[in-house]
Amino acid sequence: MAREWLLAVDLGTTWTKAAYTTADSTDPVLVRVPATQLAWFPTAVARSSDGRWLVGDAAQARRTSRPDWCWSEVKRELGQHEPRMLGGHPFGPVEAVTQPLLYAARQARRQAGRGFDRLTLSAPVIFSDEQRAVLVEAGENAGFAPDTITIVDEGAAAARSVLGPRPEDGTWVVADIGGGTFDAALVTADRGVAAVIDQVGDDRAGAHAIDTAIVARLRERYQIDDGDGEAGRRRAGYLRDAARMLREQLAEQRSADVFLPDLLLELTLTPAQLGELVEPVLAPAIEHCAAMLARNDLGWEKINALVLSGGASRDPAVRARLAPLAALRDAANPELAVVLGLTVPAEAPSRTILSLRY
């Protein structure tokens, strides 16, 4: 039987990534955005003045002038039925979330020079059957038949790509901490073969929740009100951007500051303040992990290591909170672990991609 061409799309809360494998090789090829050559683009959509869909960076640019015409982090509203007004017209979540998939598929076809036989999508472990059905529907809208679409839990996908071609025998917790969710897989390895035996997830323990906590702290500290109408929506967008930039600066340096243009304010954040905000965000996810271990007659002391993936796993405040639990190990490419894992066949869960550069 001939091998199939596979397209894998990690539709994240903040960023979407895609990769593919060919009939001749199972080595993944990252799909890159032509304008930036990056292997990811914002999971955001918007409507243009002439009624076209804008995706990724183009949608984010639209938010600057018309925030009410832009829909960021569309994944968070999958499974809801309330439409959103964009450019004076109502659109449901499935129609909006189809656009990043279409964009990724078009870029992949352009890069590969042909179409794909199968589509694999990621989903948080906590997604309901209804939310997964919406993902399948979006995949159909992107041109794939239902029987060619596979959905893989994000924690399991990350585990497929991070533990090595012949993982050391033992027990591991692989945690993917992304923009919107915290997904963890309990993995055992025996004689070089790894298997996922349990999973948990939390949709309030990703970078989005941390940024929300930072925004609340900024509003309180600098007495920033919401504002009204479009001006208020624009300010809310500025504040969320400022929170993300402050958090990302603290991943590289010991202090962070961002200028808020519409209020002429210089906003600051220290590592200690960020640590205070991270603690309550991560606490429920850590409890879920402890419960997962307990129901498998395990504790943190019996874990070889806590393996981290996802963009938020780089944050020092996040790492500091997780370090007391178990020895920490990092995925080779934390931001890409899930999409790379989606390209690994389920029957080969221990394959890894360590040398891929981005």
Give how far Cα 292 sits from Cα of 166, 297, 329, Å: 25, 9, 20
Strands 118-123, 6-11: pairing is: parallel
Alpha-carbon gap, residue 252 to 248, rounded angstroms: 7
Render the burial of 222-255: b for 16+ CB within 10 Å, e for the rest: eebeeeeeeeebbbbbbbbbbbbbbbeebbeeee
Cβ atoms of 180 and 240 within 8 Å: the answer is: no
- Residue 165 has what pLDDT? 64
Alpha-carbon gap, residue 355 to 358, rounded angstroms: 10
Residue type, 184: A
* Strand ranges for the chain from DSSP E: 6-11, 15-21, 29-30, 41-42, 44-47, 53-55, 70-72, 84-86, 89-91, 118-123, 149-153, 170-177, 182-190, 193-202, 256-260, 265-269, 305-309, 328-330
Please give the average per-residue pLDDT across 198-227, as a whole number.
92
Q: Tens of pLDDT along 300-310?
A: 999 999 999 99
Taking the CB of residue 299, how many other CB atoms lie within 10 A of it? 11
Q: Domain 207-274: which topology?
A: Actin; Chain A, domain 4 (3.90.640)
Cβ atoms of 36 and 57 within 8 Å: the answer is: yes
Alpha-carbon gap, residue 135 to 122, rounded angstroms: 9
Alpha-carbon gap, residue 177 to 212, rounded angstroms: 16
Examine domains 158-205+282-331 and 207-274 and report if their fold is the same: no
Alpha-carbon gap, residue 253 to 270, rounded angstroms: 10
- Residue 348 has what pLDDT? 53
| Phi, psi of 347, rounded to the nearest 5 degrees | -80, -5
- Residue 1 has what pLDDT? 43
- Residue 343 has what pLDDT? 93
Give how far Cα 329 sits from Cα of 44, 46, 246, 287, 313, Å: 31, 38, 25, 20, 10
Residue with tokens 């479009």: 230
- Residue 2 has what pLDDT? 55
Flag the least confident range among 62-71, 139-148, 325-334.
62-71
Q: Tens of pLDDT along 110-141?
A: 999 999 999 999 999 999 999 999 999 999 99
Q: Tens of pLDDT along 12-45?
A: 999 999 999 999 988 999 999 999 999 999 999 9
pTM of the model: 0.90
Report the mean per-residue pLDDT for the chain: 90
Residue type, 210: I
- Residue 200 has what pLDDT? 97
Class of domain 158-205+282-331 as given by CATH: alpha beta
Share of the chain above pLDDT 90, in %: 70
Q: Which residue has the higher pLDDT, 10 or 167?
A: 10
Q: What is the CATH number of domain 6-144?
A: 3.30.420.40
- Residue 253 has what pLDDT? 84
Q: Tens of pLDDT along 292-302?
A: 999 999 999 99
Cβ atoms of 19 and 342 within 8 Å: the answer is: yes
The domain segmentation of the chain, as residue ranges, is 6-144, 158-205+282-331, 207-274
**Cα angle at 42 between 110 and 213, to 5 degrees?**
165
